[in-house]
Amino acid sequence: MERITTFEQYQQAYKNSVENPEAFWAEQAELFTWRRKWDKTLEWNFNEPDVKWFSGGKLNITENCLDRHLEKRGDQTALIWEPNNPDEAAKKISYKELHSEVCRFANVLKHNGAKKGDRICIYMPMVPELTIAVLACARIGAIHSVVFGGFSFKSLSDRIQDADCNIVITADGGFRGAKDIPLKSVVDEALEICASVKKVIVLKRTHTNVIMKKDRDIWWQEEMEKVSDVCPAETMDSEDTLFILYTSGSTGKPKGVVHTTAGYMVYTDYTFRNVFQYNSGDVFWCTADVGWITGHSYLIYGPLLAGAATLMFEGIPTFPDAGRFWNVIDKHKVNIFYTAPTAIRSLQAMGLDFVKPYKLDSLRVLGSVGEPINEEAWNWYNENIGKKNCPIVDTYWQTETGGMMISAMAGITKTKPGFATLPLPGIQPALVDEKGNELHGNNIEGRLCFKFPWPGIIRTTYGSHERCRETYFNIYKGYYFTGDGCRRDEDGYYRITGRVDDVIKVSGHLLGTAEIENAINEHPDIVESAVVGFPHDIKGWGIYAFVICDNERKDVDNLKSEIIQTVTKYMGPIAKPDKIQIVKGLPKTRSGKIMRRILRKIAENDLANIGDTSTLLDPSVVEEIKIGAVL
Ligand code: WTA
């Protein structure tokens, strides 16, 4: 398939995409199998918001991920699976086999009452069946809602309830490093408060004992025996919902980001092939969990649409030792490797002895995603993993954008450490000031918006279109607002400076401070809490919690560990605070609003720049907090 191969071609494509976006994207859409061609390429209005791509078109994304490849590359590998334990055999699944498994599981879903439009929650470990489950939903037109396996029962039940799911697909447990994760028992706990769920399909993975509820819980392996592997794909409209994926927001409740079929397909395929400069036959490895958007777009859909071999890894980078990533790259001869800065920094900290035993000579392109990559980590990645021979693409995007937005194209765009570089074709960034005025020219800093739709853009937030409008389209009129600060330098290169709202990127995971506070407040002794981020050497950002306790507990260390347990229980281990400070009061304005700006300065140990505290109800609390700060 065609792709851009020179910088001049990129510039030309960019120009075309801005001057005539419809023709530009229609040409990309022509590459796919359609049951009916679309009538109108784009209709849009950012005020509603109402964005439709390829309306009138009919298709099924799994026909494009699977059936379309059968004739030419049916026997080629679609999925390489590397287990948590290196002593267990890896698996290679061809396009033909994946097609057959997806069809079979699609029949299992139908057999258990699933139909087009139903919401199905997937809460699974990183095993091939996770990919199969995702694609099987899409095959029958059911909407998948994947929940990251590291989330706790409360986060899971919130998401199941919000989307009103009728089926949950899970496993008895999952292997992660030296740990077993008891997925099924988390599901059981979550379902105590989710009446909508009628069936739970359970994959046997860890073979731990689980309780199977009669008439509700069934085994994956047994169900697969009962059905055939012939399952014609459901005909979907271009704008039918493909999936919901929850992401954290400034308020406590996560938002169900909705992506639809055709635009998402065209966009993930285009960005995958061009940014990574994918060549037919390449082995591609994205280390993200399918529970996050990166796993959706660049472990499953993008690579399979392109006909690539996509690698899925069950385990963690440090098991059995910190050389595991490099071991897997050599073992499977990975050509393109895509990971997060947190992983790079943590492996860098383990020392080069874990890298030296490996050749890494199959690598051609390296990618980074999820958070700003600092120069030191960029250089380490470049020198020790890429051997100064592999272009690095620092890809900036979001759950809501569906695919990469600002990124180099590997080997084509000149890179600068710390810069996501330039917008991809079709992407029109705008930096605005706090009032929403666009800042023109170079050498400026502002808030990052996009002023024109691209095919992968969020369509709505599930259950509340108004929330989508308010969060993304109403803050700066006429723009989609990302929530990120950004600099455009003298060369027109973009550097993301970080979030400007109340969410924190911890180890590349987006967490809402309000959500963490809600979890902390579940502790019976805590009356109120305020969470802010602070710069962290490995994780990018760490979590600092200021908490008010309603009785004079002397055993502060116990209290702190109870708080950590509470957060783990209600939200998941990824949201555990790194620092906890017990305080008597929080800095509030007279109207009762917590002034987080002040707390952030304290957490960052930037006491000199706390600024004006005179508008506070009780400025003395700031002094008290400063004295007790955990630095
Ligand atoms: C941040 C992940 C700097 C940013 C794909 C964004 C980045 C948020 C980069 C979305 C990058 C993502 N450089 N920051 N290359 N990529 N971000 O929804 O703050 O989990 O808004 O999507 O991650 O996180 P999300």
Which helix H or strand E contains 157, and what residues bound it?
helix 153-163
Q: Where are the alpha helices (DSSP H) in 30-94?
A: 61-62, 68-73
According to the model, what pLDDT value does residue 246 have?
A: 98
The closest residue, in CA terms, to atom 15 on ligand 1 is: 396
Half-sphere exposure of 373 (CA within 13 A, CB side): 34
Give dist(CA 438, CA 441) in Å, integer. 10
According to the model, what pLDDT value does residue 252 have?
A: 79
What 3-state class would DSSP assign to 480?
A: strand
Distance from the CA of 484 to the center of ligand 1, in angstroms? 9
Distance from the CA of 370 to the center of ligand 1, in angstroms? 4
Question: Which of 293, 396, 450 has the most ligand 1 atoms within 8 A of CB, as the residue to mutate?
Answer: 396
The closest residue, in CA terms, to atom 1 on ligand 1 is: 371
Mean pLDDT throughout 52-70? 98
Please state whether the peptide bond connecting residue 320 to the residue before it is cis, i.e. omega within 30 degrees of 0.
yes
What 3-state class would DSSP assign to 376?
A: helix
List the structure tokens of 590: 């007279």
**Which residues, 6+ apart, have CB-to-CB distance to 8 below 8 Å?**
none
Is 396's C-beta closer than 6 angstroms to any atom of ligand 1? yes
Mean pLDDT throughout 571-581? 97
Three-state SS string over 211-276 comes to CCCCCCEEEHHHHHHCCCCCCCCCCEECCCEEEEEEECCCCCCCEEEEEEHHHHHHHHHHHHHHHC
- In our burial notation (b when 16+ CB lie closer than 10 A, e otherwise), range 301-330 reads bbbbbbbbbbbbbbbbbbbeebbbbbbbbb
> Do residues 322 and 354 make contact, with C-beta atoms less than 8 angstroms apart?
yes
Give dist(CA 444, CA 423) in Å, integer. 16
pLDDT tens, position by position, 62-105 = 999 999 999 999 999 999 999 999 999 999 999 999 999 999 99
Give the full edge-to-edge strand order of the sheet including 336-339: 91-94, 77-82, 309-313, 283-286, 336-339, 365-369, 392-395
pLDDT tens, position by position, 539-570 = 999 999 999 998 888 899 999 999 999 999 99
CA separation, residue 394 to residues 238, 365, 371, 457 (Å): 30, 11, 9, 20
Distance from the CA of 510 to the center of ligand 1, in angstroms? 8
Q: Which atom of ligand 1 is nearest to the CA of 503?
A: 19
Residue 222 φ/ψ region, left for φ over 0, alpha for ψ in the -120 to 50 degree band, beta for the rest: alpha
Q: Cβ of 552: how many Cβ atoms within 10 Å?
A: 6
Question: Which of 404, 458, 510, 511 has the most ligand 1 atoms within 8 A of CB, as the residue to mutate?
Answer: 510
Query: Residues 120, 124, 128, 134: what is their CA dihedral angle, to the nearest 10 degrees?
Result: 20
CA end-to-end distance (rounded Å), the chain: 54
Q: Please tell me what DSSP assigns to residue 408.
A: P
Mean pLDDT throughout 56-67? 98
pLDDT tens, position by position, 173-227 = 999 999 999 999 999 999 999 999 999 999 999 999 999 999 999 999 999 999 9
Q: Please tell me what DSSP assigns to residue 607.
A: G
Confidence grade of residue 109 (pLDDT, cut at 50, 70, 90): very high
Q: Which atom of ligand 1 is nearest to the CA of 496?
A: 3
Burial of 273 (0-12, 13-18, 19+ CB in 10 A): buried
Distance from the CA of 498 to the center of ligand 1, in angstroms? 9
Burial of 166 (0-12, 13-18, 19+ CB in 10 A): buried
Handedness of CA 202, 112, 157, 83 (dihedral sign): positive
Say if residue 1's pLDDT is above 70: no
Confidence grade of residue 251 (pLDDT, cut at 50, 70, 90): confident
**Phi, psi of 348, deg, nearest 5:** -60, -40
> Do residues 126 and 313 make contact, with C-beta atoms less than 8 angstroms apart?
yes
Q: Cβ of 606: how many Cβ atoms within 10 Å?
A: 11
Distance from the CA of 327 to the center of ligand 1, in angstroms? 27
Residue entry with tokens 């004295």:
627
Is 505's C-beta closer than 6 angstroms to any atom of ligand 1? yes
Q: Which atom of ligand 1 is nearest to the CA of 406?
A: 15
Query: Residues 354, 360, 363, 368: what is their CA dihedral angle, to the nearest 10 degrees?
Result: 10
Please state whether the peptide bond connecting residue 619 to the residue before it is cis, i.e. omega within 30 degrees of 0.
no
pLDDT tens, position by position, 313-365 = 999 999 999 999 999 999 999 999 999 999 999 999 999 999 999 999 999 99
pLDDT tens, position by position, 588-626 = 998 889 999 999 999 999 999 998 888 899 999 999 999
The closest residue, in CA terms, to atom 11 on ligand 1 is: 396
Give dist(CA 539, CA 508) in Å, integer. 7
What 3-state class would DSSP assign to 12?
A: helix
**Phi, psi of 41, deg, nearest 5:** -70, -45
Distance from the CA of 382 to the center of ligand 1, in angstroms? 21
- What's this model's pTM, rounded to 2 decimal places? 0.97
List the structure tokens of 111: 């057999």
The closest residue, in CA terms, to atom 3 on ligand 1 is: 372
The closest residue, in CA terms, to atom 6 on ligand 1 is: 398
Q: Which atom of ligand 1 is nearest to the CA of 407?
A: 15
> Do residues 361 and 337 make contact, with C-beta atoms less than 8 angstroms apart?
no
Give dist(CA 296, CA 301) in Å, integer. 6
Structural class in CATH, domain 503-628:
alpha beta
> Do residues 348 and 377 make contact, with C-beta atoms less than 8 angstroms apart?
yes
pLDDT tens, position by position, 470-506 = 999 999 999 999 999 999 999 999 999 999 999 999 9
Is 149's C-beta closer than 6 angstroms to any atom of ligand 1? no
Q: Which amino acid is at 139?
A: R
Q: Which amino acid is at 67?
A: D
What 3-state class would DSSP assign to 50?
A: strand
According to the model, what pLDDT value does residue 614 have?
A: 86
CA separation, residue 172 to residues 227, 239, 334 (Å): 22, 35, 30
**Phi, psi of 165, deg, nearest 5:** -75, 145
CA separation, residue 334 to residues 128, 365, 538, 606 (Å): 18, 10, 25, 43
Is 371's C-beta closer than 6 angstroms to any atom of ligand 1? yes
Q: Where are the alpha helices (DSSP H) in 407-541?
A: 465-468, 513-520
Give dist(CA 82, CA 90) in Å, integer. 5
Give dist(CA 416, CA 393) in Å, integer. 10
Question: Which of 371, 399, 450 has the most ligand 1 atoms within 8 A of CB, as the residue to mutate?
Answer: 371
Q: In percent, how much of the chain has pLDDT > 90? A: 96
> Do residues 151 and 184 make contact, with C-beta atoms less than 8 angstroms apart?
no
Give dist(CA 588, CA 488) in Å, integer. 35
- Please list the residues that pair with 145 across neighbouring strands: 121, 244
Is 423's C-beta closer than 6 angstroms to any atom of ligand 1? no
What 3-state class would DSSP assign to 614?
A: coil
The average confidence (pLDDT) of the chain is: 97
Distance from the CA of 496 to the center of ligand 1, in angstroms? 9
Is 372's C-beta closer than 6 angstroms to any atom of ligand 1? yes
Is 393's C-beta closer than 6 angstroms to any atom of ligand 1? no
pLDDT tens, position by position, 219-249 = 999 999 999 999 999 999 999 999 999 999 8
Give dist(CA 93, CA 267) in Å, integer. 25
